[in-house]
Each structure stands twice: as structure tokens, then as C-alpha cells.
Amino acid sequence: MAGGAGNNWTIGYGLPGSEGPRRTLTAVRREVERSDSLDSILVASSLAGGTGSGLGSRVTEELRDHFPRTSIVSVAVSPFHVGEVIPQFYNASLSLSHLLEASDCVIMIENQIVDRTCRELLKIKQPSYVDLNRVIASHVAAPALPSTTAGGSRHALSDTIRHVSGHPSFKFVAAQVVPTIPPQSLDFNSDSWSGLLNRTFQTNLCSTLDLGIDWRIAVDSGSPHNVAVASILTMHGSDALGHVDALHREISRFQNRALYAPWNPVPFMTCTRAGSFQGHQRAVTLLSNSMAAVRPAELLSTRGSEQFRSRAFVHTFLSNGVIEEDDLNLAFQRLQQACNDYAEL
């Protein structure tokens, strides 16, 4: 889209004469015709600016219309908390509201967390866009790579979506990758499966809260701080399948019913993948539809609602006639309802 969208969702979504959606659909159809079968479509877009949020929403809706039976996964990259562009909370709220309607699953990626991962875990003092995108790519690859279930069946992305996002009211998902270490440390790293699974369990239980909560206290109290709808644990490694049975005690902790919504009869699944992951001979990834996954959306919606109540920048979103004030209200209401649903888990 020539000239960009001026950091305005409405311009990216409804710019007259924009050929973005048409060109994207043409490219997707061409790839579909070249493939043997179509399992899923993955759409990645940022939420802060106008093009990623607006055009990304429009393209996702067009894909849904043209491929109604195909699973669609949206990878939504949320902005830094301090602000990347002034109207980012409007852009993000409008985009997430539309993505929830058009997608089967929304994988949330937080720039704030990605930056901290680079600085604190990968020991990169000044992360570049390439560094940030590598971390994002690893978290997107976690659910996208085909794997094998404990029963020996092939597990594709569409199977993952049906498991973690089977309920239409719960579509927010987050991914974990363990270990995450500097590339120069790969040759000196030798993690056991037991150690990787324990680290994944501890991190997920109090995921992204930064409250200093001891995970053992959370379990013992019977009130985990990151209740999930469903999750999938994948062990990546040439010897992964052979160790599943021996790791029953470690894996069974992920199956604790207190960690999941009581109404889901089969909330947890274990898969294996016979291959390295991001250079690691052994790695564990956890895809979880949980309270932690919705928190970025809650933050964006809350700040957007505050701006809306003060009437800040509202005129810039209504001036071109793409949306009305009720549409902004509806976007905030949809996100708030989604957050409320997760809060009741």
C-alpha cells in the first residue's frame, strides 16, 4: 500500500482503491493450487500501526470469506507498553476485535516480552529487528511444525487449533520455548528431558506475571495463577518419543486438573517431533490457551477505552467514514467480554 496507512487502522482497513487484499488473495490462491492439500493459513501482522492492524484485519477477513472451511491462525504482535505510535491502543483494539471474529486462533506475541527475551536470556545488549524477529519466529514455529501424538498419529497445525481453541469464546494462545539461550552457548548446553519439562512447567504456571510468586505455592494453594482452557506440550528431539513413557511423572504435572477449566474433558496433549529445534538437540515447546495469553489484549483494550472516554484522537478514526463511534465501542466491548470469559476460568 503506497504511502502507508498513517498509523490509522481505518485507513489500512478501508482505503479506497487499496489492492492489498486482492493481491494477497491472488498470491494465496496461487500457492494453494501448487500444494497437494491446504491444512491451515497463518497470517502474521503487527497491531500498533495502521497497515499491520488495518490491512492485516481486512486480509484475514477476506481469507475467511474465500476459505471458509480452512483453519486460520492469526499471529498478532502487540506493541511496547510505553507506546510505539500515539493511537496504537485504538489500532490494536480494532484489529484484535476483528481477528477474533475472522480467525480460529490468535497467537499473541508481545514486543515487550520479546525484547526482554533478547536482553535477559539471549544476552543481546541492543537487540535489532532481526534479533526480535528470530525470537518471534521460534514461537510461531512451535505450533506450526508437524509433530506426532502419543498414539503415533500425525499432528498438523489444524489439529493443534482444534485442540487448543476448540471453544469459540477462547481464542487467545501463547507459546513457550525452552531452552532459550545465547547461540554461542549451544555447544556447551546439555539439558535433560526432565530438566526441560520442569522448567517449562514452572514458567508456564506463573507466566508473564513478574510477581515473584513461587510456583509451588500456587499449586499448593489450589489457585494457579495461569488457568488454561487447553495446552499442547511438544518434545523436540531424535530421542523424544523413546522418553515419553519414562517421563510420566514430569508430564503428569501438566495434566493437573486444577490447571485447566473444569468443563474441558481433554485439556492436555503430548506430542513429539523427531528433529532439532532452533539448533537445540532437545527442546520443549508449550502452546497454551490460558489467562496469560489474554493479558496483552486486556492491557491494550483498557488503555484504548481510557483514551476513548477522554475523546483522544477519536476524530481521526471517524473522519474518513470507514467506521462510526459505535464500531469503536463494539471493539472494546468484544475484547472486554473475552477478558471476562478468561477471568472466570
Q: How confident is the model at residue 305 (pLDDT cuts 50, 70, 90)?
A: very high
pLDDT of 143: 85
- Distance from C-alpha of 140 to C-alpha of 157, rounded to nearest angstrom: 11
Residue 243: in which H helix or E strand, if any? helix 240-243
pLDDT of 19: 72
Q: For 19, left (φ over 0), alpha (ψ -120 to 50), or beta?
A: alpha
Using an 8 Å Cβ cutoff, are 119 and 127 in contact? Answer: yes
Instruction: Please give the average per-residue pLDDT across 134-143, as a whole number.
Output: 91
Residue 222 clears pLDDT 50, i.e. is over it? no
Instruction: Please give the average per-residue pLDDT across 57-85, as a whole number.
Output: 90
pLDDT of 270: 96
Per the model's pLDDT, the better-predicted residue between 309 and 213 turns out to be 309
Per the model's pLDDT, the better-predicted residue between 208 and 21 turns out to be 21
Residue 274 clears pLDDT 80, i.e. is over it? yes
Question: Tens of pLDDT along 237-271?
Answer: 999 999 999 999 999 999 999 899 999 999 999 99
Q: What is the mean pLDDT of the chain?
A: 88
Question: Tens of pLDDT along 74-131?
Answer: 999 998 877 667 889 999 999 999 999 999 999 999 998 999 999 999 999 999 999 9
- Whether 23 maps to a domain, the answer reads yes
Residue 41 clears pLDDT 50, i.e. is over it? yes
**Percentage of the residues of the chain whose pLDDT score is greater than 90:** 65
- Whether 3 maps to a domain, the answer reads no
Residue 213 clears pLDDT 70, i.e. is over it? no
pLDDT of 65: 94
- Take residue 176 and report the three cell numbers written for it: 513457550
The segment with the largest mean pLDDT, out of 78-92, 155-169, 194-208, is: 155-169
- Whether 339 maps to a domain, the answer reads yes
pLDDT of 338: 95
Torsion angle defined by CA atoms of residues 305, 309, 312 and 314, in that order, rounded to the nearest 10 degrees: 80
Residue 24 clears pLDDT 90, i.e. is over it? no
- Take residue 119 and report the three cell numbers written for it: 536482553
For residue 314, the enclosing domain spans 9-343
- Whether 132 maps to a domain, the answer reads yes
CB neighbours of residue 129 within 10 Å? 7
Residue 216 clears pLDDT 60, i.e. is over it? no
Domains contained in the chain, number: 1
- Whether 69 maps to a domain, the answer reads yes
- Whether 92 maps to a domain, the answer reads yes
Residue 50 clears pLDDT 50, i.e. is over it? yes
Question: Does pTM surpass 0.85?
Answer: yes
**Residue 127 belongs to domain with CATH number:** 3.40.50.1440
Question: Tens of pLDDT along 279-301?
Answer: 889 999 999 999 989 989 999 99
Using an 8 Å Cβ cutoff, are 55 and 17 in contact? Answer: no
Output the CA–CA distances (angstroms, integers) from residue 110 to 34, 78, 143, 269, in the order listed: 34, 5, 17, 25
- Whether 97 maps to a domain, the answer reads yes
CB neighbours of residue 150 within 10 Å? 14
Using an 8 Å Cβ cutoff, are 95 and 280 in contact? Answer: no
Residue 218 clears pLDDT 80, i.e. is over it? no
Residue 46 clears pLDDT 70, i.e. is over it? yes
CB neighbours of residue 314 within 10 Å? 16
- Whether 2 maps to a domain, the answer reads no
pLDDT of 83: 67
- Distance from C-alpha of 128 to C-alpha of 147, rounded to nearest angstrom: 31
From 144-158, 180-194, 219-233, 272-286, the region with the lowest mean pLDDT: 219-233
Residue 211 clears pLDDT 50, i.e. is over it? no
From 27-31, 192-196, 222-226, the region with the lowest mean pLDDT: 222-226
Residue 206 clears pLDDT 60, i.e. is over it? yes
